[in-house]
Each structure stands twice: as structure tokens, then as C-alpha cells.
Amino acid sequence: MPITPLHTLAFLFLYFKDKRRFDPLALTVSTTFIDLEPLYYSLLGEPLDHRFWHGFTLALTIYPVLIAVGVYVAEHLFEGKLLTVYGRLGLNPVGAKYPFLNIYLLSLFGGFSHIFLDMFTHPEMFWVLYPFAFGNSFYNWWGAMAVEVAVILLSIYSLSCWLKDKPVKLNTDS
């Protein structure tokens, strides 16, 4: 089961390949916030399960809209602070505000990728294909191991891209 930060790290290389299109905040929030659901149930003293938010139905409809609106507002309210944080993290940003369409598409990708990775590694994900099917027929041990290895390799690749990253020179000639 990929731990929550690896959901982002596995795909962070996309940001380093095209900083003008891939919003690091949208990628991070959309790939990780869905795991607030199991945390919520755990805090209630219930089993640490992946429930209805961990299914394609909500992850591809309501979730990306909520995330996109939240990220869009946050980027407009806290642009300066985000640039400072990005700089301290060594992300060498070209900006902190992205178009809403980019944010929405990344939110859609983040929700999809999270469910896609989890459906192979969590046997208790009963809502993956709800309302079309209940249960998780995608889980098996070999699939889980393949996903774990792929996520680790992608995360290592993202880290290597991060370490090699240089600040982007903006073209200021107009």
C-alpha cells in the first residue's frame, strides 16, 4: 500500500518536466487529501478502511471539483507565501498561480491515480466501481507488489529530477 506522500512523489517528476503546466499544489493536494477519509474513520475509532471516497465515482466527479476550487482560491490568496514555500523546498517555481483548467485536470488525475494505485493494494476498498459493482476484484498479492515497486521506482525518479532541477530562466524580453 503506497503511503500517502508517495502518491504525490511518484508523479512529481511531471512538475519538473513541465513547470508551466503542472501545478505542484494541485498535484499534492489531489493525490493526498483523499486519504483524509480513512484518517477520519480512524479518529472515530472505526476500522482504518477506504470507503466511498475511495471509488472512481466520487474521485472523478465531486472530488476534483472540490480540490480544484480549493487550490485555485488558495493560489490566489497566498501566492507570495506559496512562492516562498516552493523556493525553500527547492522546487524552483516559475509561478504559484495556474489556470483553473490546469488545476482541474490535475485534480482529476490526482483522484484517478490515487484510486488506481490503491485498488491493487487495499483489499478492503469495496467502493472502487460503485454503483456498478461492490467489492474490490482488483486486489491480489502480485498486483500489490508490482504497484509498490512501480511507486518506489517512480518516487526515486522524481527525487532524482528534483535533485537535478535548476531554476527556470524566464524570458523577460517583450
The tens-digit pLDDT sequence of the chain (174 residues) is 557 888 999 999 999 999 999 999 999 999 999 999 888 888 888 876 788 888 999 999 999 999 999 999 999 999 999 999 999 999 999 999 999 999 999 999 999 999 999 999 988 888 888 878 888 889 999 999 999 999 999 999 999 999 999 876 655 554
Nearest to 31 by CA among 164, 151, 160: 151
d(C-alpha 15, C-alpha 12), whole Å: 5
For residue 157, being part of any structural domain is answered with yes
Domain tally for the chain? 1
For residue 174, being part of any structural domain is answered with no
33 CB burial (10 A radius; 0-12, 13-18, 19+): buried
For residue 169, being part of any structural domain is answered with no
40: Cα within 13 Å, side-chain hemisphere: 9
For residue 170, being part of any structural domain is answered with no
For residue 133, being part of any structural domain is answered with yes
For residue 55, being part of any structural domain is answered with yes
Backbone angles phi, psi at 76, to 5 degrees: -80, -30
Question: Domain of 87?
Answer: 4-164
For residue 173, being part of any structural domain is answered with no
For residue 12, being part of any structural domain is answered with yes
pTM of the predicted model, to two decimals?
Answer: 0.89
